[in-house]
Structure 1
Amino acid sequence: MADDTRPSSPGISPTGASRRRLIATAGTLFVLPVIPTAAQAATIVAVRTWPADEYTRVTLEMDSELKAQHFTLDNPDRLVVDIEGLTINATIRDLISKVRPNDPYIESVRVAQNRPDVVRLVMDLKQPIAPQVFTLKPIGEYKYRLVLDLYPKIAQDPLMAIMDGADTDPLAEVLEDLARNSPLPDAPVPSMPGQTLPPVARKPKPSAPAPAPKPSEPPAGRQSILIALDPGHGGEDPGAIGRNGTREKDIVLSIAKRLKKLIDAQPGMRAYLTRDNDYFVPLHVRVQKARRVKADLFISIHADAWIKPSARGSSVFALSQNGATSAAARWMAQRENDADLIGGVNLGSHNKQVAQVLLDLSTAAQINDSVRVGGNVLAEIGKINRLHKKSVERAGFAVLKAPDIPSILVETAFISNPEEERLLRSPAHQDKIARAMLEGVNDYFAARPALARRA
C-alpha cells in the first residue's frame, strides 16, 4: 500500500485521480472557513475517539481554529484529512493509540507532516463511510475542535426493515425531505444499534396526507406499548459533573438501562433506548428516533445541577409553547438545549426548519398527556426521594418537541448536591428510581383504555 501520508506529487495520474473522490458541496472542495496566518501556528491539545455502531466520532482539540480539507479513497477504503497551519506533535501522534480494536469503522490511523505547515491524517477503514467534518468554537471546558464523524455509507439500521412495512407518516416525510435538502449530500439516517423492536403492520399508502396520530392513539397493528427512553448527553457531552467526578451521562445511561430491563419484563410493553452506549446524539435526532419507531411515550432522563450544592430534589418537566413556568425551569431548558453546542452538531447539515416544524406541530393534546404522565411519575419518585417541585414544570425543552408523542424530562436528582450525588452512584438507588418511573408509567397507561387493552 502506498504511504498516503507522504507529500503529494505535483501531478496525479488519471488512474489515481479516478480513485480519489473529493467530499464536495456544489462541486467544490469542502473547506473549513478560518485560515490562520503563519505566525499563528496551532497546537493540538487533546485527541479523543468515540466509537459506536451508530457512528464513530474523532475529535481533535486545538488552541486555535484551522483550515482543513478531506477526501476518501477506495480499494482499500481510507479517509484522508489535511490540516493546515499545524505541526505534528506527540499529542496528535496519540491518536494512533486511541483507535480501539472494536471500532466498527476505523482499522488504524497514520499521521505525518505532509508539507511544512500541513499535517495529514490517514484513517484506514473497515467499511465505506459517509464522513462529516466540521469545526466547533470554544464552549465550556473545550477549546476549538475539529470533528470527524464517520457514518456508514449504508447504515446498519434495524429500523429500515420496519419502516419499509410501516404506515406512512406525513410529518416523518417532511423531516426526511428537510434532512435530504441539507448542504451535505447523502446524510446518513441515524441508526439505532443493538435493538430489537416490535413489528409494525403494513397498511396501504393513503392518497392524501393524513393528520399526525393523536398521542393517545397507538399505531395500528402493534401488539406492545413502546416507550422510548432517552439517556441525556453522551460522548463529547458529559452533562453535569458532581463534586466527586460523577458524570451525568454515565448515571442516566445506567438508570435508563435498568428501566428498560424492567419495562421489557412487563407483559405487552417494550422499551427502546435512543443511545445504548457512550456517544453523542443531537437533540433533534433523539426526537426523530422516537418518532421513527412510533413510540407511545418518550422519557428523557437527566441529573440536575445548580450553582449552589444545597439544591436538591427530583423534578419532572413537560413542553411549554408559552414560556417557562419559572425562571429555574427556563434556565434548565436552556442548559439542556445547549447540549448540541457542547456535544457538537454540524449546523451546516441540520436544516433549522426541522426544529421549527417540530415546534409548530406540537399539539395541545401531546402537552396535556405529557403533564398527566409527568404527574404520575413525579408522584412515584416522591415516594423515594425529595421533590424539588411538587408539580410538573413546563419549559421549551428541544428534546420534548415530538408533536404526537407524550414526552417528559425527568431530573432524577441534583448531581451537584454531594448527598444526592452519592445516591445517584448507588446501584440500589438507581433501581429505586427506575422502579418509581415504571410505576408512574403503569399508572398513566392504566388510565388510557385504548393503550391498556393492548398491554
Structure 2
Amino acid sequence: MKNNYNTVLCHAWLLVLLLLSLSSLASNQVQQIRIWPSPDNTRVVFDLAAAPEYKYFTLDNPERLVIDLSHTRGGASLPAISGQSALISNIRSSGDQNSMRIVLDLSKKTNANVFVLTPTAPYGHRLVIDLPDENSRVQRQPPSSIRAARDIVIAIDAGHGGEDPGSIGPSGIYEKHLTLPIARRLAELIDKEPGMKALLVRTGDYFVHVNRRTDIARSMQADLLVSIHADAFTSPQPRGASVWVLSLRRATTEVGRMLEQTERHGELLGGVAEVIRDAANERYLAQTVLDLSMNHSMVTAHQAANQVLTELAKITRLHKAEPQAASLGVLRSPDIPSILVEVGFISNPQEEQQLRNTSHQARLAQSLFTALKRHFQQAPPADSLFAQQRSREHRVQPGESLSVLAQRYNVSVAELRTHNQLSNDSIRIGQVLRIP
C-alpha cells in the first residue's frame, strides 16, 4: 500500500512539473513596441517579459520582414505601438498560446539587422530591429579644393539617444534628454557666427551607434567633432566638468585598422590614389598620410580641449583641470580631431538640477562656443574664412592712427572699431587689428 502511495505521489509531482514546464514554454509576451526613426535608420524595439527565442526572414513584392517568436503567446492583437516611420507602413501579428508571428510591412527594400539586448535600466529584455534607409545618407560637402573661404565645420554629437538613455539622474532624468538641448543651443550659436557651421550628428531622440557617429562626422568633412555627455558615478559625491581626448593607444589601433581596409585608401589619399598603382606604395603612402593626420588631430583636439576647460571653469566646477586621454567609443577617429565634454555629473543631485536648468544649459553652450571660436581664430584651417580674416591683420606701428589705417585699407573708422570691439579710437603700438 505504501509503495502504491509513493508511486501515485511521484506521478502527481511529475504531472505538476510537466504542467509548469509547458506553462513556462509559452510564458513570454510582447509588452510594448517602440519605433525610433532617424534620418538614415529606423529602429524597432519589442519589449518582452523574458529573453526571446526568434527566427526571421524577408519577403518581397511587397516588402515584408517576418519574425517568428517561439514560446510566446500570440494573437491578432498587438500591444501599444509608440512612434512611426516612413519605412514601416504596418505592423501585424498572428499566433496561438505558444508562438507568435509578427509581420512588418515595409515601404521599400532594406537589409534588416535583428538582435537581442539584455536588460539595462530602465529597459528589460528587448528584440531590436534596425532598418537602414540607404537613400537617406548624409550628403558630402563639395571638396575643399573647389571651395573658397569655406566655413569651419563642427560636428556636434549629443550623447546617447533613443533606445540608449545614457546615465539616469536621482530624479529619473535621462542623460540623453540633457545632451540634446545643449547640442542644439551650441549649434545655433555656431551657425550665427560667419565662417562657422554646425552639423548635428543626431537631430532628435533616436539611437546612433557609437561607431557610426565618427563616420557621420567624416562624411560631413568636419574640422572637429564635439561629443556632449553628462558624467555619472556609483556614489553621489563626485561633481564637475571634464574634457576627454583620444588616447595614443586607441589612435594607433584605429590607424592600423584603417590601413587594413584597402578599399578606403582612396578616401584617405584623395586624388593621389588614382595615380598610384603599386599596392605596397599605396599602403606606405596611406600610412604616412594617416600618421600625419593623427598627429595633427591629436594636437588640435588637445588645444581645443584646453580652451573648453578654460571657459567651463568660469561657470562651473571642474572635475579634471587637464584634458584626459581615453579609449572611449566616440573618440576613435585618428583623422578627425575629437573631444568628449562631460558637462557635469548627472549622478550628483545638485549638479543634476543645474544640468536640467535651461539657463545653465545656455551658459554651457555659450562656454563651448566661445572656446571653439577662440581655438579656430588662433589656429584656423588654411582654406577657411577664419584664415582669410586672420591674413588681413595689421600690427600697429609708431605714428599710425585708426583713421590712417582706415584710409589705407579702404574701410571706415566705424567698421574698424566694430570689427575689433574697440570702445573708442585709441590704439597702441604693437596692437594687432583685424581688417574687415
Task: Tell whether the 8 Å contact from 1:225 to 1:268 is kept in structure 2 after alignment.
Answer: yes
Letter in 1 for 2:197: R
Over 3 Å counting, the alpha-carbon distance change for 1:158 and 1:411 in structure 2 is closer
Letter in 1 for 2:92: R
Partner in structure 2 of residue 49 of structure 1: 35
Q: Report deviation, 1:201.
A: 5.2
Letter in 1 for 2:350: E
One of 146, 150, 153 as aligned partner of 2:131: 150
One of 411, 415, 424 as aligned partner of 2:342: 411
CA distance in 2, matches of 1:259, 1:388: 22
Task: Tell whether the 8 Å contact from 1:231 to 1:302 is kept in structure 2 after alignment.
Answer: yes
Superposition CA RMSD, Å: 2.9
CA distance in 2, matches of 1:322, 1:131: 34
Task: Tell whether the 8 Å contact from 2:74 to 2:98 is kept in structure 1 after alignment.
Answer: no
Scaled by the length of structure 2, what TM-score is found? 0.69
CA distance in 1, matches of 2:32, 2:233: 28
Partner in structure 2 of residue 428 of structure 1: 359
Scaled by the length of structure 1, what TM-score is found? 0.66
Partner in structure 2 of residue 129 of structure 1: 110
> What are the equivalent positions in structure 2 for 1:249-328 lying under 5 Å apart?
249-322=176-249
Q: Report deviation, 1:356.
A: 9.0
Q: Report deviation, 1:199.
A: 3.5
CA distance in 2, matches of 1:378, 1:404: 23
CA distance in 2, matches of 1:276, 1:298: 15
Q: Secondary structure at the match of 1:399?
A: coil
CA distance in 2, matches of 1:303, 1:56: 26
Q: Report deviation, 1:230.
A: 0.5
Q: Looking at CA atoms only, which structure, 1 or 2, has the larger radius of gyration?
A: 2
Over 3 Å counting, the alpha-carbon distance change for 1:446 and 1:132 in structure 2 is same
1:439 aligned onto 2:370: yes
Partner in structure 1 of residue 277 of structure 2: none
Instruction: Out of 71-80 and 390-399, give the one that drifted further.
Output: 71-80
Task: Tell whether the 8 Å contact from 2:75 to 2:100 is kept in structure 1 after alignment.
Answer: no
CA distance in 2, matches of 1:124, 1:78: 5
List gaps (5 residues or longer) in structure 2: 1-20, 251-255, 265-286, 390-436
1:375 aligned onto 2:306: yes
Question: C-alpha deviations, 1:179-225, integer Å up to 9, x for none?
Answer: xxxxxxxxxxxxxxxxxxx543578xxxxxxxxxxxxxxxx657110
* Count of aligned positions: 332
Partner in structure 2 of residue 346 of structure 1: none
Partner in structure 2 of residue 73 of structure 1: 59
CA distance in 2, matches of 1:311, 1:394: 19
Q: Secondary structure at the match of 2:351?
A: helix
Q: Report deviation, 1:53.
A: 3.0
One of 223, 231, 243 as aligned partner of 2:150: 223
CA distance in 1, matches of 2:352, 2:31: 30
Partner in structure 2 of residue 106 of structure 1: 88
Q: Secondary structure at the match of 2:116?
A: strand
CA distance in 2, matches of 1:89, 1:431: 49
* Percent of residue pairs identical: 38
Letter in 1 for 2:125: Y
Question: C-alpha deviations, 1:250-308, integer Å up to 9, x for none?
Answer: 11011001100110111011011111111111111001111111110110000111122
Q: Secondary structure at the match of 2:341?
A: strand
Q: Secondary structure at the match of 2:227?
A: strand
Over 3 Å counting, the alpha-carbon distance change for 1:199 and 1:62 in structure 2 is same
One of 49, 73, 91 as aligned partner of 1:87: 73
Instruction: Out of 371-380 and 49-58, give the one that drifted further.
Output: 49-58
CA distance in 2, matches of 1:133, 1:316: 35
Letter in 2 for 1:108: N
Over 3 Å counting, the alpha-carbon distance change for 1:40 and 1:429 in structure 2 is same
Over 3 Å counting, the alpha-carbon distance change for 1:110 and 1:400 in structure 2 is same
Instruction: Out of 278-287 and 52-61, give the one that drifted further.
Output: 52-61
One of 311, 317, 326 as aligned partner of 1:395: 326
Partner in structure 1 of residue 428 of structure 2: none
Q: Secondary structure at the match of 2:163?
A: coil
Over 3 Å counting, the alpha-carbon distance change for 1:249 and 1:355 in structure 2 is farther
CA distance in 2, matches of 1:444, 1:43: 54
CA distance in 2, matches of 1:233, 1:52: 13
CA distance in 2, matches of 1:280, 1:454: 38
Letter in 2 for 1:438: F
Task: Tell whether the 8 Å contact from 1:268 to 1:454 is kept in structure 2 after alignment.
Answer: no
Letter in 1 for 2:73: T
> What are the equivalent positions in structure 2 for 1:195-206 lying under 5 Å apart?
198-200=141-143
Task: Tell whether the 8 Å contact from 1:200 to 1:222 is kept in structure 2 after alignment.
Answer: no
Letter in 2 for 1:77: E
Q: Report deviation, 1:244.
A: 1.3
